[in-house]
């Protein structure tokens, strides 16, 4: 039943109502619905910011801009024990969802289409909250920013759009720019719907320039310190190898100074940075750059996994775009520019990298939000049906994930760690410690002991005590590993230690359970 009082209160205070409802929604999902971080990258950055990793809160969050890191670290100093890293993400989601929701409600869609678009937005947001990740958080912020700029009518909206885009670039520069590329594919369509406006175009330019500026500050901050400068370059070159599907193609063509065992250990995120230094990584990348384009195109076959998991969603999305093209009539090509642009982006990424699910969803989120604002009223009865079908496809794709096992493994690992001496520092083999399967509001206090990782923290000043494999000989440092991987790892590590340090070692088992083992090394006694 229509109530004029409720309608008036909603109209006058809609933004506040949306903020309140979205706050309750985000808190409920992250606290009560088995939310966790998608990868352990966020957990380690939360440990760094809180001081759990190095002993004192630090702003060097590596993947996240150092300016953002200063804010989070300062909050941890102000109120230790509270998960500020997670709280800042929650605020970002609340703000983004409020802006996107407001934009959809103000769009030119028919009211049924707006309802369907809002539901689809919340379905996607549930996934983003259940699998919190800095990349998707930045993508959500950037999408909200550019959707606000696209329809901006006042200077304050344009200023807000720029500030939110800077916020997105601080959280993850590459994700913000990826959303910017998707928006560029939609820009001709937006001009057709809203007309050309030089203020909006200038605002978009300011967004990009501001994002680049804060990234430059981040870059310069690392290079003001020689040790962090070395680490910054080391990590960039390491990432080009670890995330590259061409890494296996260069095993037989390694630089002469790089031994195969050390390269395999590097590919398993367990490099000895005293052995495999920056020059070695640069030489490996030079070899990798020589991989032919034909070989790189073969990497597209790996997109089959993405297709098998999300084929219904992809097909339905294409149907939506075709229906939109029909509705646009003489401007049908405007709907196909985004399709071609997004497909080209995915194919380019796949040449030298893995198209991870979070990248796919980053593009998908931007596609749906921008598209919801650019429909013409002629599709008012078609679009809600198509958006509802997209929702079904999204839920079907999400149903393929199994999160339960991760939580069980994390609890099992924590219980095993309680049986170890308190002074042991654990270093997980690859990503075996499932720290990401912890409620995001408890990441700093869940595990009972010091945990460190090589991976993307290799050569960082935080890891001085585990930089070399010799740091695991006769010390309190130990490797946490699956039993099924232990023999291979020990064989590689002992070979590397013998070849590079001229020491014969054998494993010293600190703990062995049904599934996991903890070991370090001891030197063999000469007979």
* pLDDT tens-digit series, residues 155-195: 888 999 999 999 999 999 999 999 998 888 888 877 877 77
pLDDT at site 402: 57
Question: Which residues is 520 bridged to in the sheet?
Answer: 508
Query: Distance (Å, rounded) from C-alpha 195 to C-alpha 482?
Result: 59
pLDDT (0 to 100) of residue 223: 92
- Could you say which residues of the chain have pLDDT below 70? 1-13, 108-110, 328, 372-404, 526-527
pTM: 0.90
Q: What is the pLDDT of residue 391?
A: 61
Q: Look at residue 403 in the predicted model and tell me its pLDDT.
A: 60
Q: Give the model's pLDDT for residue 395.
A: 60
Q: How far is CA 118 from the centre of its chain?
A: 24
**Which tokens belong to 89?**
């993400």
What is d(CA 48, CA 62) in angstroms, rounded to the nearest whole number? 10
Cβ(429)–Cβ(402) under 8 Å? no
pLDDT of residue 321: 73
- Please state, in angstroms and rounded to a whole number, the distance separating the CA atoms of residues 238 and 107: 44
What is the model's pLDDT at position 450?
Answer: 83
Task: Give the model's pLDDT for residue 1.
Answer: 47
451 pairs with which residues across the strands? 426
Strand segments, DSSP code E, in 453-515 are 477-482, 505-512
Tokens of 354: 């893995």
Are 400 and 309 within 8 A, CB to CB? yes
What is the spatial distance between Cα 200 and Cα 180, in angstroms, rounded to a whole number?
A: 14
Rg (CA), the chain: 25
Nearest to 491 by CA among 255, 264, 253, 250: 264
pLDDT of residue 491: 95
Tell which residue, 30, 27, 65, 26, has the closest CA to residue 49.
Answer: 65
Specify whether the CB–CB gap between 300 and 347 falls below 8 A: yes
Q: Tell me the H-state helices in 196-331.
A: 198-223, 226-242, 260-267, 278-289, 293-297, 303-328
Token pair of 169, please?
Answer: 């670039």
Nearest to 355 by CA among 367, 366, 343, 369: 343
């Amino acid at each position: 039943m229509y109530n004029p009082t409720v309608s008036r209160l909603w109209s006058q205070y809609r933004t506040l109502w949306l903020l309140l409802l979205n706050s309750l929604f985000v808190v409920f999902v992250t606290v009560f619905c088995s939310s966790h971080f998608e990868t352990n990258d966020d957990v380690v950055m939360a440990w760094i910011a809180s001081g759990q990793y190095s002993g004192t809160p630090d702003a060097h969050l590596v993947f996240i801009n150092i300016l953002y890191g200063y804010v989070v670290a300062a909050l941890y100093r102000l109120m230790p024990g509270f998960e500020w890293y997670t709280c800042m993400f929650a605020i970002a989601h609340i703000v983004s969802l409020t802006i996107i929701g407001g934009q959809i409600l103000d769009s030119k869609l028919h009211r049924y289409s707006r309802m369907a678009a809002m539901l689809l937005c919340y379905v996607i947001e549930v996934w983003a909250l259940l699998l919190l990740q800095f990349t998707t958080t930045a993508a959500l912020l950037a999408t909200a920013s550019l959707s606000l700029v696209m329809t901006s009518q006042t200077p304050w909206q344009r200023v807000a759009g720029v500030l939110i885009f800077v916020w997105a670039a601080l959280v993850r520069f590459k994700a913000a720019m990826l959303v910017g590329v998707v928006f560029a594919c939609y820009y001709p369509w937006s001009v057709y719907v809203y007309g050309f406006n030089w203020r909006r175009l200038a605002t978009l330019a300011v967004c990009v320039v501001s994002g680049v500026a804060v990234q430059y500050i981040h870059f310069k901050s690392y290079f003001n310190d020689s040790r962090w400068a070395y680490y910054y370059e080391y990590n960039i070159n390491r990432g080009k190898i670890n995330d590259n599907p061409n890494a296996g193609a260069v095993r037989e063509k390694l630089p002469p100074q790089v031994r195969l065992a050390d390269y395999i250990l590097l590919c398993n995120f367990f490099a000895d940075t005293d052995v495999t230094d920056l020059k070695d990584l640069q030489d490996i990348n030079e070899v990798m750059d020589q991989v032919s384009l034909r070989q790189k195109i073969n990497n597209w076959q790996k997109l089959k996994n993405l297709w098998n998991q999300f084929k219904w969603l992809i097909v339905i999305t294409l149907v939506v775009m075709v229906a939109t093209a029909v509705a646009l009539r003489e401007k049908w090509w405007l709907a196909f520019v985004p399709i071609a642009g997004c497909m080209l982006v995915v194919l380019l990424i796949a040449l030298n990298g893995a198209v991870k699910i979070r990248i796919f969803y980053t593009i998908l989120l931007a596609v749906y939000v921008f598209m919801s604002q650019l429909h013409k009223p002629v599709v008012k009865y078609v679009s809600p049906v198509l958006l509802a079908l997209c929702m079904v496809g999204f839920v079907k794709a999400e149903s393929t994930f199994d999160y339960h096992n991760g939580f069980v493994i994390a609890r099992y690992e924590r219980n095993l760690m309680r049986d170890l001496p308190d002074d042991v520092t654990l270093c997980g083999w690859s990503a075996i410690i499932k720290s990401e399967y912890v409620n995001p509001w408890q990441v700093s206090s869940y595990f009972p002991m010091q945990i460190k990782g090589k991976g993307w923290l290799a050569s960082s000043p935080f890891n001085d005590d585990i930089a070399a494999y010799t740091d695991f000989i006769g010390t309190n440092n130990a490797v946490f590993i699956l039993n099924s991987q232990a023999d291979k790892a020990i064989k590689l590590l002992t070979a590397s230690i013998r070849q590079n340090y001229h020491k014969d070692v054998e494993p010293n088992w600190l703990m062995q359970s049904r599934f996991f083992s903890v070991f370090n090394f001891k030197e063999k006694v000469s007979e």
